[in-house]
Amino acid sequence: MDEGVMRTYARADEVFVAGHGAVLRDAEGREFLDFLAGIAVSALGHGHPGLVAALRDQVGKVVHLSNLFRHPYTEQVAARLCRLTGMAAAFFTNSGTEAVECALKLARKVMHARGTPQRCSFAALEGGFHGRSLGALSLTHGEKYRKPFGPLQPCTWLPPEDQDALARTLRGQQPAALVLEPIQGEGGIRELSAGYLQAARELCTATGTLLVHDEIQCGCGRTGTFLAAQHAGVVPDVVTLAKPIAAGLPMGACLAGAAFADTFQKGEHGSTFAGGPLACRAALVFLDEYEAGLAAAVAARGAELRAGLPQLQREFPIVREVRGRGLLLGLRLHHSAEAVQKELYRQGLIVNTTAGDVLRIAPPYVITAAQVQQGLRTLREVLARFPAAAPTTPETKQ
């Protein structure tokens, strides 16, 4: 496997050839329950009939135009995303990383326009992940991601939940933007408190720092509200989205509030492919389904998982903590989650690991109540095979 492909991922040898709903089928016909959705992407699951019909139709009409031409779908998706997020304008991208790049450039441009171009640094949180391009990588905390690629953009790292450190940095260093994930995904499904999100909002307003919420993993309805920060009633200046936004087609968006919607002038940012008719047609199917009832389904299935996972924690000492919200959940174990993940996979349940000791659970939004119970049963069977181990991860290391 992996012939001719750069070895940036440890890919499984399994080849999935088809799927329906939250089930994936391999080349031998074996079925797996998908509790991962391609890392929090395939919100409508696999083989969704409405998506298949819309894409077939769109491929026969027009796939690509470039951003030199208007298209109604692009504008419809922008309008609907702005309505759902409280933002005023969208820049479409092909990935989450590009949406973060757009947000960083937008913050720099705002500082130039204000006559404070020296405000060029960024603040981000320890444990945060924002992508791997040189700009986004500068804010991605993990040393393993950044070390081989320096020098990067200047960034100050803040411990999550420490409001004093946040105030000191924003007042003292005057960064262009504070960038944070309301729920850290790659950092181990770690949710920021409503109090911290609200304090960050107030401090950013007071210091003229742009507040950028990276909702690429936790946004687009995955936690029960369209944006995860809506649980805390916080509206950022800029929000980045991607992953489920076009139900599996590559797409992201950087959305800016009214005060920043006209920041870029012609030519200051761009993309050949982004926001094209095919991806936008898929995004419209996703948004239609989301607003027609999937939002309620996410809340219901999330509540079922949130009821079942603490039971596993009570039964199996290997389980240290249940994290997350809606359909973005984590089971933090007392040691590396890799062996458990591999055994789950052998038993037909797809999850992955994040931050080393966390099993990430991020199923398609269309997962059924019966499939949630099936997944919980498989988790129970597999966790029972792993004896309690003495904690090897110090409490402070996340």
Ligand X SMILES: Cc1ncc(COP(=O)(O)O)c(C=O)c1O
Retrieve residue 108's tokens: 């720099």
Catalytic: which of 32, 92, 122, 129? 129
Retrieve residue 354's tokens: 């994040």
Q: How far apart are CA 179 and CA 10, in angstroms?
A: 29
Nearer to ligand X, 131 or 248 (CB): 131
Nearer to ligand X, 209 or 217 (CB): 217
Instruction: Write the DSSP string, 255-299.
Output: EE-GGGTT-PPTTSS--SSTT-HHHHHHHHHHHHHIIIIIHHHHH
Residue 172 pairs in a beta bridge with none
Residue 131 Cβ, how far from ligand X at the closest point, in Å? 4
Report the Cα 36 to chain-centroid distance in Å: 12
Which residue's structure tokens are 């919980």?
Answer: 376
The contact set with ligand X (CB under 6 A) reads 95-97, 100, 129-131, 181, 185-186, 214, 216-217, 242
Residue 252 Cβ, how far from ligand X at the closest point, in Å? 6
Which residue's structure tokens are 């920041």?
Answer: 263
Nearer to ligand X, 245 or 376 (CB): 245
Retrieve residue 11's tokens: 């890919």
Q: How far apart are CA 269 and CA 159, in angstroms?
A: 32
Retrieve residue 94's tokens: 């092909």
Phi, psi of 253 (to 5 degrees): -150, 140
Is 237 among the residues known to form the active site? no
Residue 40 Cβ, how far from ligand X at the closest point, in Å? 7
Nearer to ligand X, 8 or 396 (CB): 8
Residue 37 Cβ, how far from ligand X at the closest point, in Å? 12
Residue 284 Cβ, how far from ligand X at the closest point, in Å? 20
In the chain, what is the greatest distance between 2 CA atoms, to the nearest angstrom? 62
Q: How far apart are CA 138 and CA 13, in angstroms?
A: 32
Is 2 among the residues known to form the active site? no
The beta strand positions in 121-170, using DSSP E, are: 122-125, 155-158
Dihedral sign (CA 218, 223, 229, 230): positive
Which residue's structure tokens are 């924690």?
Answer: 313
The beta strand positions in 266-388, using DSSP E, are: 319-325, 328-333, 349-350, 352-354, 358-361
- Provide the 10 A C-beta neighbour count for residue 43: 29
Residue 339 Cβ, how far from ligand X at the closest point, in Å? 23
Q: How far apart are CA 211 and CA 123, in angstroms?
A: 10
Q: How far apart are CA 217 and CA 228, in angstroms?
A: 10
Nearer to ligand X, 23 or 280 (CB): 280
Residue 97 Cβ, how far from ligand X at the closest point, in Å? 3
Is 144 among the residues known to form the active site? no
Angle between helices 295-315 and 369-383 (to 10 degrees): 20
Nearer to ligand X, 96 or 160 (CB): 96
Catalytic: which of 34, 214, 237, 357? 214
Q: Tally the residues of the chain.
A: 398
Q: Which residue is nearest to ligand X (CB)?
A: 96
Nearer to ligand X, 109 or 130 (CB): 130
Residue 83 Cβ, how far from ligand X at the closest point, in Å? 23
Catalytic: which of 243, 260, 286, 357? 243
Nearer to ligand X, 217 or 223 (CB): 217
What residues are labeled active site? 129, 214, 243
